[in-house]
Amino acid sequence: MGMFGNGEQSPLTRRRFLGWSQGLMAAVSAAPWMSARAETEPEHPAENEDYYDKLGIDKIINAAGTYTYLTAAVMPPEVQRAVAKAALHPVVLKDLQKASGEYLAKKLRCEAALVSSGASAALTLATAACVASANNLKPEQIPQEVGGMKNEVIVQKAHRYEYDHAMQLCGVRIVEVVTVEDYRNAFTRKTVMTNFFNAAEAGEIDRKTWLNIAHQHGVPCHLDAAADMPPVENLWKYTEMGFDLVCFSGGKGIRGPQNAGLLLGRKKLIDLAVQNDNPNSDAVGRGMKVAKEQIVGMVAAVDWLLSRDEAADQAEYRRRADVIAAAVKNVPTMKSEIFVPEIANHVPHLILAYDPAVVGISPTEVQKKLQAEKPRIELNPATGSTGRLGTHSNENTIVVGTWMLQPGEAEIVGRRLREVLTHPRA
Ligand SMILES: *Cc1c(COP(=O)(O)O)cnc(C)c1O
């Protein structure tokens, strides 16, 4: 173990230690271990070293949106400052978890809150809490003892998604239902929880009916609203509607750190989620650690968000869409439309529809061209494909998400799109 007890010392920690110790070294210059250490000290990296450049990583222009594979949102300066400041001092992790949870619960009008390492981790911790509550299980018994106990989670067939995996980490079994009648019949003495995928585009059972029936059976309901802010009131709407647990991604619309998220809901269940979370080591949430910087960043992001003028932000996203639409309006056959998805990513998306046979390049070819240049531009993944934005995108549409663009980038995207569409073989 190193002298800081963590096996290895970060260069930063060592530098700070050495900075502090310079006076001491002058006084005790005979101390052999200290001078030996100083001789092997690496050179300080330049103050403004850019590690993306050092690693050969392109910085992208994000004309897509808050997609995980594109590192989702960039934190606003206020949040970046809070993160940097939190990095300067150690604290007791559990105390920070507790205080941040209490602060967020007040701000977001729910009984209790927990900063998780993302919406997916929040869903795992929600599941662990419901399993623990139904079976009176200790964290160290999840998942290996769950198979023989109450372990059923009810989900609408149309709400099955990749994140089911986050629940299955706790050893539960998913029970699919389609009709309200199926749903009523699905409750057994083994039911521990239900999950509602808020942005699902299909499913016969609405939120209120879903809640009422589960609560008649005394079963808690989790709602996954990961990407469903804005509007900001969604942060309290669903808990106030009666959902026992609700998760949000911290790094999408909320613009906190990408590896942070929120689990909001009933105190009794949040307390159980906390027990199944790190820093407890024998727990399903041990690998889902949120560092002090990200916990503070999450709180700062919520503060930042609550201070925003949402209408003004939405108007700015629309202005950017207008800038890009204007840049390509003379491309033959071009028609532009602004589309705001109903639930997830509820912000203006620019849809550019044209005839590739006339223009000479398809939307997916345009997408690849913009990815290949510097600066690399990433269009929305619905570009050139059907199904991702309902009927609003197809093989003949380019889709631009404008809300993650930085100042001046809408103009660049507009110009580059115009160049590629007017000189497709350049
Ligand atoms: C993005 C997303 C998640 C995962 O969010 P993370 O914060 O990246 O863990 C979960 N559910 C839905 C519906 C999402 O869109």
Q: Is 258 touching ligand 1 by the criterion CB < 6 Å?
A: no
Residue 386's contacts (CB-CB under 8 Å, 6 or more residues apart) are 393, 394, 395
Q: Is the pLDDT of residue 366 over 90?
A: yes
Q: Which pLDDT band holds residue 6 (cuts at 50, 70, 90)?
A: very low
Which pLDDT does position 11 carry in this prediction?
43
Which pLDDT does position 65 carry in this prediction?
97
Distances (CA, A) of 293 to 89, 91, 100, 116, 210: 10, 11, 12, 13, 37
Which pLDDT does position 391 carry in this prediction?
83
Percent of the chain with pLDDT strictly greater than 90: 86
What is the residue with the minimal CA distance to atom 13 of ligand 1? Answer: 226
Residue with tokens 């906190």: 256
Peptide bond preceding 375 in cis form (omega within 30 of 0): yes
What is the residue with the minimal CA distance to atom 11 of ligand 1? Answer: 226
Mean local confidence (pLDDT), 406-424: 97
Distances (CA, A) of 23 to 27, 43, 44, 151, 168: 6, 20, 19, 61, 56
What is the residue with the minimal CA distance to atom 2 of ligand 1? Answer: 226
Which pLDDT does position 389 carry in this prediction?
82
Q: Is 68 touching ligand 1 by the criterion CB < 6 Å?
A: yes
Q: Is the pLDDT of residue 242 over 50?
A: yes
Which pLDDT does position 426 carry in this prediction?
83
Burial category of 129 from C-beta neighbours within 10 Å (exposed 0-12, middle 13-18, buried 19 and up):
buried
For the stretch 50-68, pLDDT in tens is: 999 999 999 999 999 999 9
Residue with tokens 């407890």: 280
Which pLDDT does position 278 carry in this prediction?
97
Instruction: Say if CB 283 and CB 126 are below 8 A apart.
Output: no
Indicate the residue type of 196: F
Q: Which pLDDT band holds residue 42 (cuts at 50, 70, 90)?
A: low
Mean local confidence (pLDDT), 260-289: 98
Which pLDDT does position 40 carry in this prediction?
52
Instruction: Say if CB 297 and CB 115 are below 8 A apart.
Output: no
Peptide bond preceding 45 in cis form (omega within 30 of 0): no
Q: Is 164 touching ligand 1 by the criterion CB < 6 Å?
A: no
Distances (CA, A) of 73 to 49, 221, 260, 346: 22, 28, 12, 15
Which pLDDT does position 44 carry in this prediction?
63
Mean pLDDT for the chain?
A: 92
Q: Is the pLDDT of residue 92 over 80?
A: yes
CA–CA separation, 369 and 424 (whole Å) = 9
Atom of ligand 1 nearest to the CA of 225: 13
Which candidate, 282, 369, 296, places its Cα nearest to that of 78?
296
Atom of ligand 1 nearest to the CA of 259: 7
Q: Is the pLDDT of residue 32 over 80?
A: no
Which pLDDT does position 48 carry in this prediction?
84
Q: Is 118 touching ligand 1 by the criterion CB < 6 Å?
A: yes
Lowest mean pLDDT among 147-161, 298-312, 327-341, 388-402: 388-402
For the stretch 180-205, pLDDT in tens is: 999 999 999 999 999 999 999 999 99
Residue with tokens 């869409």: 321
Q: Which pLDDT band holds residue 358 (cuts at 50, 70, 90)?
A: very high
Pocket-testing residue among 120, 169, 255, 343, ligand 1, by greatest number of atoms within 8 A of Cβ: 120
Which pLDDT does position 138 carry in this prediction?
98
For the stretch 139-182, pLDDT in tens is: 999 999 999 999 999 999 999 999 999 999 999 999 999 999 99
Q: Is 262 touching ligand 1 by the criterion CB < 6 Å?
A: no
Q: Which pLDDT band holds residue 14 (cuts at 50, 70, 90)?
A: very low
Predicted TM-score of the model (pTM): 0.89
Q: Is 120 touching ligand 1 by the criterion CB < 6 Å?
A: yes
CA–CA separation, 384 and 396 (whole Å) = 6
